[in-house]
Amino acid sequence: MNPGAALTLYVMSAATVLALVLAVVPLPATWRRLPEWVGFGGIVATLAIAVAQWGERQVGFSGELQIDRFSLLLTWIILPAALAVILFSWGEPAAAGRRPEFVGLVLAAATGMMLTVMSGDLITLFIGIELLSVSLYILCAIEVARERSLESGLKYLITGSIGTAILIYGFALLYGVAGTTSLSGITERLATVDGLASQPLLVAAIVLIVVALGFKASAVPFHMWTPDVYQGAPTPVTAFMGTGTKVAAMGAFLLVFTGATHQVSGDWRALIGALAVATMVVGNVGALAQQNVKRMLAWSSVAQAGYLLIGVAVGTMAGAAALTYYLFAYVAMTLAAFAIVILREREVEAGDTLVAFTGFGRARPWAGVVMTLALLSLAGFPPLAGFVGKFLLFGSAVDAGMSWLAIVGALASVVSVVYYLRVVIVMWSPRPEGTRPERRLRVPLSVASVAVAGAVAVVALAIWAQPLLDLCTDAARALMIP
């Protein structure tokens, strides 16, 4: 027992509780930024600990938690995403009055995401997924006066809890097969007992877990909720759902499949591969017709989940490493894109529609450049990080003898160029003659810094792809050790 192993979780939980206490304590007006600073400080401190902990596996709570290179690397993605959400909502008028709750729930959700990727046991994995889901249900509906926010929260809650119920049943059946809830115990059991593969109970467990995690990762055909929930939720929350939840869901996929049940990968490789193909095709086609940038990004996040699932479907260490690299790239480019949408939303009414972006790039060239870089990277243009990530993912599929995944992925990427480039073209085209000059707000430093950091990361992750890929390979190796 190593009490220091879970230090990151202790610090995050303490910051969560502190932020929530501030919700009931009356604060003097001069301290009104205190909740944000608590969130900021908590996340930065946790990130520092997570960087310092990098090394061999440490086990906490007799195997319930596994802090190793895999979970720490994913924590390095989750925490900056949470920090970006705090910065997005810094001083945002819409969240005024319930700032402490907002910060507390973001911290709680981030803690859940970390717990998910650090779990060494089905019970911990379940608690992590639920902590993040339940916090996000409330965050979606936090603007209670706005009907769309409530609608988004209720829809997410209902679909999310159906996913939860299916997840529990899948975990119960897996427990029935293995006789233990520990992930390493399941690996041992599957390795020692012959003839477990293709057992009906095990196959049913795998199908149910794939369906349930598909709900959480918004994979087709369990994606129906994604566009409505993403569009209705406050945009900073949407950005968090699009990045943090995706990282946690993919982490759970990797832990359960590539990690714990890799001996029976014959039972699940084709299933997850089919899910990846459906997700890539439907996500990209669905995004084509969207006239609302937020909704387009929701469909694009469905499509991106498809590319990410390739890294799970191949079931190899190279696949897990490529997936981890792509998560870094995906989070950077998505946060940059959402930062620009948030800027536009604050400036004009209905700022998330495509029309509202006409001429935005000419009015604010730096924002135009950030959005262009983010969208080109999402579409997979070389030499940006999104291209490197897709290249690695498709390469791992070819190496694993699943070239059909790479072919569908490449074709889907070609389709995606249409809707990503459309936003870029609209941004850089002149505003129509005779339109009134619109009011210009001073750009909030907090949002601008996330936008610029995301755009810089999209380029930097491509330049230093090799060192990062080495880290990702270390992470994948840690994942495969039982």
Partner 1 sequence: MSVPIGAYLALSVALLVLGLIGVMRRRNPLMLLLSVELMLNAGNVALIGFSRQWDDPSGQVFALVVMVVAAAEVVIGLGLTVSVFRSRTNLDVDELSSMRG
Q: Interface residues with partner 1 (CB under 8 A)?
A: 122-123, 126-127, 130, 134, 137-138, 141, 144, 147-148, 150-151, 153-155, 157-158, 161-162, 164-166, 168-169, 171-173, 175-176, 179-181, 227-228, 231-232, 289-290, 295
The minimum distance between CB 169 and partner 1, in angstroms, equals: 5
The minimum distance between CB 200 and partner 1, in angstroms, equals: 11
Q: Which two tokens stand for residue 84?
A: 């970006």
Quick one: 157 or 275, whose CB is closer to partner 1?
A: 157
The minimum distance between CB 452 and partner 1, in angstroms, equals: 31
Contact 326, 254 (CB under 8 A): no
- The CA–CA distances, whole Å, from 1 to 7, 51, 334, 336 equal 13, 21, 39, 41
- Quick one: CA torsion of 51, 317, 305, 212, rounded to 10 degrees? -100
Query: How many angstroms separate the CA atoms of 278 and 270, rounded?
Result: 12
The minimum distance between CB 126 and partner 1, in angstroms, equals: 7
Quick one: 134 or 237, whose CB is closer to partner 1?
A: 134
Quick one: 292 or 377, whose CB is closer to partner 1?
A: 292
Task: Reply yes or no: is the peptide bond before residue 221 cis, omega within 30 of 0.
Answer: yes
Quick one: 125 or 309, whose CB is closer to partner 1?
A: 125
Contact 314, 394 (CB under 8 A): no
Helical H segments across 58-199, by residue range: 69-88, 99-118, 122-140, 147-178, 183-192
Give how far the C-alpha of residue 436 lies from the chain's centroid of Cα atoms, to the nearest Å.
39
The minimum distance between CB 352 and partner 1, in angstroms, equals: 12
Quick one: 144 or 445, whose CB is closer to partner 1?
A: 144
Q: Around Cβ 45, how many Cβ atoms within 10 Å?
A: 16
The minimum distance between CB 6 and partner 1, in angstroms, equals: 17
Name all contacts of 452-456 with Cβ < 8 Å and 24+ positions apart.
452/366, 452/370, 453/336, 454/84, 454/332, 454/333, 454/335, 454/336, 454/337, 454/339, 454/370, 454/374, 455/336, 455/369, 455/370, 455/373, 455/374
- Could you tell me the end-to-end alpha-carbon distance of the chain, in angstroms, rounded to an integer? 18
Residue 135 CB partners (closer than 8 Å, separation 6+): 105, 106, 108, 109, 112
- Assign residue 353 a region: left if phi > 0, alpha if psi is -120 to 50, beta otherwise? beta
Query: How many angstroms separate the CA atoms of 134 and 130, rounded?
Result: 6
Quick one: 148 or 422, whose CB is closer to partner 1?
A: 148
Quick one: 99 or 295, whose CB is closer to partner 1?
A: 295
The minimum distance between CB 304 and partner 1, in angstroms, equals: 19
Q: Which two tokens stand for residue 253?
A: 């996929």
Using DSSP's 3-state secondary structure scheme, residue 65 falls into: strand
Count the residues in the chain.
482
Query: How many angstroms separate the CA atoms of 134 and 137, rounded?
Result: 5
Quick one: 92 or 352, whose CB is closer to partner 1?
A: 352
The minimum distance between CB 60 and partner 1, in angstroms, equals: 17
The minimum distance between CB 239 and partner 1, in angstroms, equals: 18
The minimum distance between CB 228 and partner 1, in angstroms, equals: 5
Quick one: 123 or 317, whose CB is closer to partner 1?
A: 123
Quick one: 45 or 154, whose CB is closer to partner 1?
A: 154
Using DSSP's 3-state secondary structure scheme, residue 219 falls into: coil
Query: How many angstroms separate the CA atoms of 232 and 213, rounded?
Result: 22
